[in-house]
Structure formats: C-alpha cells, structure tokens
Structure 1
Amino acid sequence: MLVNKSVSNQAGQLPEAKSAVSDNISADLQDIWQKICAGLRRDLGAQIFGQWIKPLKLSAFDSNTGTLLLILPSEFAANWVRDRYAERLLLAWKTHCPEVRNLALQAQSGAAKIAQASPLNGANAVVTPSQHNIAPESKFRLDLDPRMTFDQFVAGHSNVLALNAAQRTAAAEKPLFCPLYLQSSTGQGKSHLMHAIGHAFREEFPASTIIYMSAERFMIEFVSAMRRNEGMEFKASLREADLLMIDDIQFIVGKNSTQEEFLHTVDSLISQGKRVVVAADRPPQALDGVDQRLLSRLSMGLVADIQSAGLELRRDILKHRLATMPHQQVSEEVVEFLARTISRNLRELEGGLNKLLAYAQLTGREISRELAEEQLSDILSACRRRITIDEIQRTVCEYYRLDRNEMSSKRRARAVARPRQVAMYLAKVMTPRSYPEIGRKFGGRDHSTVIHAVKLVEQLRGEDSEMDNDVRMLLRQLES
C-alpha cells in the first residue's frame, strides 16, 4: 500500500501544482531522475526541457509491477508529454534503473492512486487520464523569441506604462487587472512585450501552460478543430492555459463563431484566476465588428497604450543594441542620423541597423553616414517626412543668405544660380515631384534646366568637398 505525503511547493511553481510524493520514492530513484534529467536537457535543449520535462514529478513506485508514476500540473501537459516523450522517458529509466519496467503519466488532479494509472509499457501504449484525446493539430507550440525579454526592452516615456503592466502580469503576485490590452501602431513593441511576459512567466512558474498565438492562427485552429469534430478538445486545450496571449486581435473582427469561442475562453480563464494578454493596433472601442460582450471583456482590465517612440528613445534603442555588440564600431554621427531619419517604427529602426552592420561586416567597409545613405536608401526614403519644395527653397535661402525671390528670378550670377541649382537638386532628391513640376516652382523654368541642375550638383558633390558639405548640411537641416 502506498502512503503519500505532501511536499513543499517548489520555487516558481504555480500554487495549484503542488505534488504528492510517495514514501517509497527512494533517494536512489531521485538521484537517477536527476541524471536522466541532465541527459534530457542536453538532448532536447533548455527550452523544451524547461517547458515539458522539468515539471514532471516522481509520485509513486509500485515494486510489484515495476510501474513508476510521474505527474504533471495539467491534463494537457500530460497528454503532450505522453505523445512526444513517453518512449524516450521509458528507455532512459530502463537504462538507468532496470527495476522500472513501466511508466505512468497523469495530471495532478488524477494522481491520487497509482493503481488507477495505466502503465506505459511499450512504444504504442498510452495513458488516458481523461476522455479527451487532443489531436496534435490543436496542441499549441510555444515559440518565444529568446531575444525578446524584459532585459532587452528599452524603456522610454512612450512605453513605460505598458512595460510596467507587462511586468506585473508576469510576476508571481496576481495582477490587479485582467486582461491586459496592449495597444500601439505597428513596430512599437507590443510583440516584444508579449514574448517578454511569456519568458518571465515561464521562469516564475516552470510548470505552467502558456499559449501565445496570433488572432489569425486562433481562427485557423478553431475552424480546423470544428471541421474535425474536435471543438471540445480545442476548447479544453485553450482553457488549460495559465497564461493566454493573443496578438493582433483586430483580425478577429467580423467572425461571429470565433468571437463567441474567444469570449467564452476569456471568461473561463478570468474566472479561474488565470492571466490573459491581448494586443491590437487600435483601442477596444475602435474594433469594428466586435461583439459588445467581447468588447466589454477586453476593456474591463487595463488598456496600456504605447505611443510612437520619440527621438530620444530611438537613440537609446540604437545605443542599447550596439552595447551588446562591442566589436562593432558605429560613430555618434551615424547613430544620430539613423535615429532622426528612421522614425516610423522601431522594427524598421533595428532592421536598418542590422542591415548596415551586416553589410559592413561582409564587405569590410567602414560604417559611415555615406554607407548608411547608400545601403538604407529604401528605408530612408519611406521614412522621410513629406518635405515641400517651398520648405527646401526657404532653407536654402537661409543657408546661403539669399532673398527668397532669387529662387524664381532670372539672375544667372553664380552666387544666385548655384544655390538655386542646389535647391532644385534637393527638390528632386527629397520630394516625389517630377522635373516639370519642380521647374514650375522655380519661376516656370523648363524641365531640362532642372535636369541640368541635378546632374551638375551630383557631379560637384564628387569633385568639390565644400559643395558636398553644403548639401550634407542642408539635408541634415531638412531631415531634422
């Protein structure tokens, strides 16, 4: 007869996942389990091991049948480990301890008696602690980017509320708000924070079940499960989650059945004290075609808005990234140029820096502003704000100390003609205007005159350092 006793909750494990260990789990079996774990961690990798193998607890051993009972915190986890790692676990135990001839895997809620567990005694044997046999397509693989952690998230005035809320959501203490709704335009850090929440929550609760997916994948999985008549299994697997995160929730609009299921899932998780995080590119009230009940649930927690990153934050992000790559030498001028110019979103900013670093490393060229302008021309042109020809003319006249009327005058003196040609060149480089349109803004000049001015300034930039410096200074003024 097996007598069970409680053991203290291990650091980081969810409170409800306390395990019961039999008195006949000897120190030798515990030592063997540690050796098996070391080998599995090496073979499977730290991420898979930490998520699926580490939560396994030795519960009881029946020496009569040679059956060792292992328990996990949920039926979903038990099904997952049984389907994918049962053979490997049984082989490892038979190799290290021949007395263990069978394994039984159960969820915590059903692990009271070893006699109720069917043993894993062969490659095809399966323990079924419940009647729900979830299809592999409905088991959600957790793919968290190892680079997207809280340590790698650069805080600024525009994102500090969302960062603090995300950290509270992942902490051991139950958050004061649920769900957490992250809102921002594309590329401002929503997904980074969701990955960071996943990493931190898994570190705090290693045995927890985390589901992270896009709204699009949620819809695909839901429809697929319904077509296979596995809707109940899909719902059960979702509601096993200790942390559910859905990205790009705006794409769930207009899908009534999917919205209904998502609403019930959110309700179920919140009622169980679980945690829910959603992200979208607009506030809940601006989600067209969303059921009012779902809107109410999404609004009942905390809506954390992430504003567009300002110049200072963009500068800090570049410096933070470069600090992790001390072998890469990038001047302050280049950092400032990138921070000022690539302003649409942070994903483009980091992508531009990565492209520049990769090109310099592969070609051996020095990283300079010239190289940045050359290699990032597509990003830079897309990010540059809409500059008008009037603004260019005004800036050029201030720089050369000319009267604004000289841009349209017929005077051909070099002191007037050369600045006018520079302004035409800048108009062509910095605006989408055609040659005839530019000509009309310069006193109705013919398009051939503008073409000549553009070619001349391009030539002079390569031959005359003073001219090149003038153009650079004007570009910098206009870009800022």
Structure 2
Amino acid sequence: MKIDDYMNGGPSGRGQPRGASGPAHATGSAHETRAASATPSSAARKERDAASIEDGDAVDLAADWADISQGLKKDLGPQLHSQWIKPIQVGSFCKETGTLDLFLPTEFSANWVADRFADRLSLAWKIARSEVRQVRISVHPRRRAMPDLRLPGSSMTGSTGTNAMAGSSQTGLVRSAPPAHPGEALSGAQSGLDPSLTFAEFVSGAGNVLAVNAAQRMAAIETPQFSPLYLKASTGQGKTHLLHAIGHAYAAARPGARIFYCSAERFMIEFVQAMRSHEMIEFKARLRGFDLLLVDDIQFIIGKSSTQEEFLHTIDALLGAGKRLVVAADRAPQALDGVEQRLLSRLSMGLVADIQPADIDLRRKILEHRLARFTSAQVPADVIEFLARTINRNVRELVGGLNKLIAYAQLTGQPVSLQLAEEQLTDILSANRRRITIDEIQRAVCQFYRVDRTEMASKRRARAVVRPRQVAMYLAKVLTPRSYPEIGRKFGGRDHSTVIHAVRLIEELRTRDAEMDGDVRTLLRQLED
C-alpha cells in the first residue's frame, strides 16, 4: 500500500479504523442485554460488559486481519501466503502500549516471518488501525516447544524465544525514545542493530570485495573519502548484513557514538506519525542527532513527495555536519521508481558499491563458514558441493537450505546425505535450478574430452571412452532431476546399477585425483554458465 493511502487513513471504503468503533458497538449490545434481563448485580453487569467489549474487539481484529491477509496474498502470491501468512493467529491487543500480538505455530515459522515480513505486517496493521504502534511476532504460548536446535555461541534465540533477526525487525517497529543527552549512545536494542551481523560473520569473495572494503572504510575512525555509501544488491546477497556490520564496527571504534538502523518503511511510518501528532521538530532533531544513520531498502521511499523531501533534508543535514550515512537498495539509484531527481542525485554523490551474486567459490566458503557453527553436525563434502552448485539464486536461500537440512536430520535422527538433501530441499532446488539437459551435458563432455558424441551410447569399453561417459553420468545426476534409470536410458539403455557405479566412482576419484576434480569443476562451470 502506498504512503498516500496511509496518510488518508487507509484505502477508500475503509473509513474509520475498526478499533475505534468496536467497543461502542459492544457496549450497545450489553445495554440491550441489560434492558431485557432482570436486575443483575452491578458486578455481574460490569463483568458481562467487559466480556462483550472483549468479544467485539476480537471480532474487529479478525475482520481487519482478513482484509490484511487478502492484501498480502496479492502482494506475495498464493504459495508464500499459504506457507507463512495463513498460519498466523491474531492474539490480543494492548491499548496501553499499542502492542498487537501475532502468533505462529512454531519457533522456526515465527523467526522466518519476523525476519522477512515484520515491516510489511506492521505497516499493514498501522494502516488498518491507527492505535497500533508495534506488532510482536512470537510462538503461540500454548504450542509445545520444539527441540532446541540453537547453534553453539549463536544469538539466533534468546531467553524470550525470538531470534536475533526477529529481534532487530521488531526493534525496527518500535519507536525508540531519544537519549537523554545529545551525546548519549544508543544501546544495541535501541539502535536496531542485530548482534549476530558483524564483519566477522560476513564471508567475502570476488563479487563483494568492493562493498566490504567500502563498508569497513565507512566504519573506520578516519573520515571516509565518500559519503553517502550506497550498497546495491539483489535480495539475499548480504547488503543488510553489511549495514549492521558497519554499525557494530563504528560503535567499537567510537564508544559513545549515536548509531541508528532502520528500514525505509519505518522512516515513512514515523514521518507520518510525527506529522499526525505534530511532533515534526522532535522527529527531525532525533534523526539528525545520529553520528551514523543506516537505512535499508531505500527503494521503498516512494509516494508522498513530503516524505522524500524530509529524507533529502536529513541527508543534507547529516553530511553537512560531517556525519555518516549508509543506504542499501536492490537496484541502482537511477533505477529507483517514483523518487525525485534531487534525492537520486544525493544518493549517487558518494560511492555506489555493487554486491554481485555469490559465485560457486564464495558459496562454498559461506557453507563451510556456517557449518563450523554446527559442532555436532556431520555434512559430507559432496552435500556441500551439491548445495553450493544448485542453490545459486541468493545467499539467504543457500544458508536456509543448509539450516533446514541439518535441522531435519537432527529431528529425525537421519544422517545428512545427498539423497536426503534432494528429498528435503525440493522447493529450494527447483527454484534455483537452470534446466540443464542430459543432451547438453553429453555435448559438453564430448567436446571437453574430444570424443565423438556417439560414444556416449556405444558399447565400447576403451578407457578413453568409458571415463568421459562416467563423468557425463555423474554430471547428469548432479545437475538434473533425472533418476538413475532415466539417465541410463540416455546412455544407450544402460542399467541403473551402471549409472550408480559411475556416479560413486567419480565422487571417489574427485577426492584423490586432483586432475579429475579439476576436469569436473571446469565442466560444471561451463554448464552452469
């Protein structure tokens, strides 16, 4: 929903938020009940009135959630909606704090939703009900706790059962009070920084080296030669991680510095709230008092020109005072839709650092880095190689696939294997795989080893022919969803046991024969590119 709708109190037809009318309606029902009954005691009347009001509020919340859920279904698509949004149960709403509870059935689903959809859910609820100030996402209290799968030394979960990423998302929804003194530092919770997202936890490679070096320079004590820093990356490539890492490193280098991380959506929400409550002076003073401002998903600064105007003035004020600004987006400044030219110019005046999608080598490094945190998990090298090669869209899916695989193995007591990975990660793998065919594989292998294409289906058993044929069978199993019998039919009608033998042989040869491993790596790169 655009900011214009939010400023006008929601989409046309909604009118007054339901939260304003629910109690009045419920009170009216209670009045009719009192008129029709005998003369109940005052205590009984109060109890019945309170119950009636509570029921009315629950009905209104359910009606609001039905509208919000339908809107999210259109935005996210039926699959994501069915998996993550539909299971949400609306809990209680505290009028004193403006806190609305949303419950999910498991800790995993609560963490996932809080990580990816917290800002979107908060904005939708604030549009539907002006009195909602924060949305709290957690596991339903009556649900049985899941087995503890926390990583040693990890901050994924805390004493409250919410994970660190969810914590940062929720912090980003709560309006933090300004420090008592201009020079007073904000705590980690107030700053919105996730304690697990540091430079030490960020794995660098060829595709992100410029962004990492620029981020470290921005966090150093010395004044950077460029400002603002604009981090550009597609979804799940690490731009949010770098934003948080800059904040942590800057705080370590400058104790007492005032640092703040927020999403562009939160900026818009707070801007509108400040306008409604006539607190624009306080809003501006608070934003411009930070030494380092980190703004994520800047592509969502859309709609009202007044919002962009205020953000532009904030940039000018911060840079004019020698302070630092880092923003992140999923596209280049010039590709931002609905953003005024003056703001685009300011965003482009520093350094635009592109984070390229992780290549195969970086994906391996990331998996190995994450695996080191699972002290009790045994993941074979061929599974790591399989994940690194097949989950190539973004790092978030890559790490999520590894986490899901290890969690499933621990919960069921099964060892991690290539077969288990193929069975349990079907949804992730199908979304990432380019449809490489066995014909493509055979052509590439024959060209690489300089053998005739007919040898792939021939009965010849000369070593110069057999080994390329076995490599092609291995690649067919790794790069396609075909079964062993299907692969055998494409190689002259060979039995599935022949294909299994070839796959296992090449796997074993790769561990002890550097030349064979190099050949396979070269062919994999050629086919994937």
Indicate the TM-score class for this superposition, using the shorter chain for normalisation: 0.5 to 0.7
Per the alignment, residue 147 of structure 1 pairs with 196
Asked if residue 223 in structure 1 is aligned to residue 272 in structure 2, the reply is yes
- In the superposition, relative to structure 1, how do residues 158 and 250 fare at CA in structure 2: closer, same or farther (>3 Å)? same
SS of 1:325's equivalent in the other structure is: coil
Unaligned ranges ≥5, structure 2: 1-163, 165-176, 462-468, 490-494, 508-519
Contact 1:388-1:431 within 8 A present in 2 as well? no
Amino acid at match of 2:316: D
Aligned pairs (5 A) from 1:371-390: 371-388=420-437, 390=439
Amino acid at match of 1:193: L
358-367 or 183-192: bigger deviation: 358-367
Q: What's the offset of the Cα at 1:464?
A: 5.3
Q: What's the offset of the Cα at 1:455?
A: 12
Amino acid at match of 1:239: R
The number of residues matched between the two structures is 318
Contact 2:192-2:260 within 8 A present in 1 as well? no
Per the alignment, residue 191 of structure 1 pairs with 240
Match of 1:257 among 306, 313, 317: 306
Q: What's the offset of the Cα at 1:344?
A: 0.8
Q: What's the offset of the Cα at 1:158?
A: 0.9
Distance in 1 between residues matched to 2:198 and 2:182, nearest whole Å = 30
Distance in 1 between residues matched to 2:304 and 2:437, nearest whole Å = 44
Aligned pairs (5 A) from 1:56-135: 76-78=178-180, 107=182
For each residue in 1:209-230, what CA deviation from the matched residue of structure 2 results, as whole angstroms up to 9, or x when unmatched? Answer: 2121111111111112212222
Match of 1:158 among 195, 207, 224: 207
Structure with higher Rg: it is 1
Q: What's the offset of the Cα at 1:389?
A: 6.7
Aligned pairs (5 A) from 1:204-223: 204-223=253-272
Distance in 2 between residues matched to 1:253 and 1:278, nearest whole Å = 15
For each residue in 1:236-255, what CA deviation from the matched residue of structure 2 results, as whole angstroms up to 9, or x when unmatched? Answer: 11111111111111111343
Per the alignment, residue 218 of structure 2 pairs with 169
Q: What's the offset of the Cα at 1:76?
A: 3.0
Distance in 1 between residues matched to 2:487 and 2:392, nearest whole Å = 30
Contact 2:217-2:224 within 8 A present in 1 as well? yes
Amino acid at match of 2:500: D
SS of 2:266's equivalent in the other structure is: helix
Per the alignment, residue 328 of structure 1 pairs with 377
Per the alignment, residue 282 of structure 1 pairs with 331
- In the superposition, relative to structure 1, how do residues 405 and 322 fare at CA in structure 2: closer, same or farther (>3 Å)? closer
Q: What's the offset of the Cα at 1:454?
A: 5.7
Per the alignment, residue 310 of structure 1 pairs with 359
Distance in 2 between residues matched to 1:288 and 1:190, nearest whole Å = 20
Distance in 2 between residues matched to 1:240 and 1:107, nearest whole Å = 7
Aligned pairs (5 A) from 1:357-368: 357-368=406-417
Contact 2:264-2:295 within 8 A present in 1 as well? yes
For each residue in 1:281-336, what CA deviation from the matched residue of structure 2 results, as whole angstroms up to 9, or x when unmatched? Answer: 11112223221111111111111111111111111111112223333222221111
Q: TM-score, normalization: structure 1?
A: 0.58
Distance in 1 between residues matched to 2:454 and 2:305, nearest whole Å = 61
Distance in 2 between residues matched to 1:335 and 1:431, nearest whole Å = 18
Per the alignment, residue 178 of structure 1 pairs with 227
Per the alignment, residue 273 of structure 1 pairs with 322
Distance in 1 between residues matched to 2:381 and 2:237, nearest whole Å = 23
Distance in 1 between residues matched to 2:270 and 2:455, nearest whole Å = 65
Per the alignment, residue 499 of structure 2 pairs with 467
SS of 1:349's equivalent in the other structure is: helix
SS of 1:77's equivalent in the other structure is: coil
Q: What's the offset of the Cα at 1:202?
A: 1.8
Q: TM-score, normalization: structure 2?
A: 0.53
Contact 2:237-2:355 within 8 A present in 1 as well? yes
- In the superposition, relative to structure 1, how do residues 467 and 431 fare at CA in structure 2: closer, same or farther (>3 Å)? closer
For each residue in 1:70-106, what CA deviation from the matched residue of structure 2 results, as whole angstroms up to 9, or x when unmatched? Answer: xxxxx9310xxxxxxxxxxxxxxxxxxxxxxxxxxx5
Distance in 2 between residues matched to 1:168 and 1:291, nearest whole Å = 29
Distance in 1 between residues matched to 2:182 and 2:439, nearest whole Å = 71
Per the alignment, residue 289 of structure 2 pairs with 240
For each residue in 1:317-364, what CA deviation from the matched residue of structure 2 results, as whole angstroms up to 9, or x when unmatched? Answer: 111122233332222211111111111111111111111111112222
- In the superposition, relative to structure 1, how do residues 467 and 258 fare at CA in structure 2: closer, same or farther (>3 Å)? same
SS of 1:76's equivalent in the other structure is: coil
Contact 1:387-1:431 within 8 A present in 2 as well? no
- In the superposition, relative to structure 1, how do residues 469 and 384 fare at CA in structure 2: closer, same or farther (>3 Å)? farther
Distance in 2 between residues matched to 1:308 and 1:371, nearest whole Å = 26
Instruction: Compute the RMSD of aligned alpha carbons.
Output: 4.0
Contact 2:315-2:325 within 8 A present in 1 as well? yes
Contact 1:77-1:209 within 8 A present in 2 as well? no
Contact 1:225-1:234 within 8 A present in 2 as well? yes
Q: What's the offset of the Cα at 1:431?
A: 7.8
SS of 1:213's equivalent in the other structure is: strand
Amino acid at match of 2:344: L
User: What is the identity percentage for the equivalent residue pairs of Structure 1 and Structure 2?
Assistant: 60
Per the alignment, residue 128 of structure 1 pairs with none
Contact 2:232-2:330 within 8 A present in 1 as well? yes
- In the superposition, relative to structure 1, how do residues 386 and 201 fare at CA in structure 2: closer, same or farther (>3 Å)? same
Distance in 2 between residues matched to 1:181 and 1:384, nearest whole Å = 31
Distance in 2 between residues matched to 1:406 and 1:108, nearest whole Å = 73
Asked if residue 292 in structure 1 is aligned to residue 292 in structure 2, the reply is no
Amino acid at match of 1:467: V
Asked if residue 344 in structure 1 is aligned to residue 376 in structure 2, the reply is no
- In the superposition, relative to structure 1, how do residues 375 and 231 fare at CA in structure 2: closer, same or farther (>3 Å)? same
SS of 1:309's equivalent in the other structure is: coil
- In the superposition, relative to structure 1, how do residues 373 and 270 fare at CA in structure 2: closer, same or farther (>3 Å)? same
Distance in 2 between residues matched to 1:201 and 1:365, nearest whole Å = 44
For each residue in 1:178-221, what CA deviation from the matched residue of structure 2 results, as whole angstroms up to 9, or x when unmatched? Answer: 10100111111101100101111222233222121111111111
Distance in 2 between residues matched to 1:318 and 1:431, nearest whole Å = 22
Contact 1:76-1:237 within 8 A present in 2 as well? yes
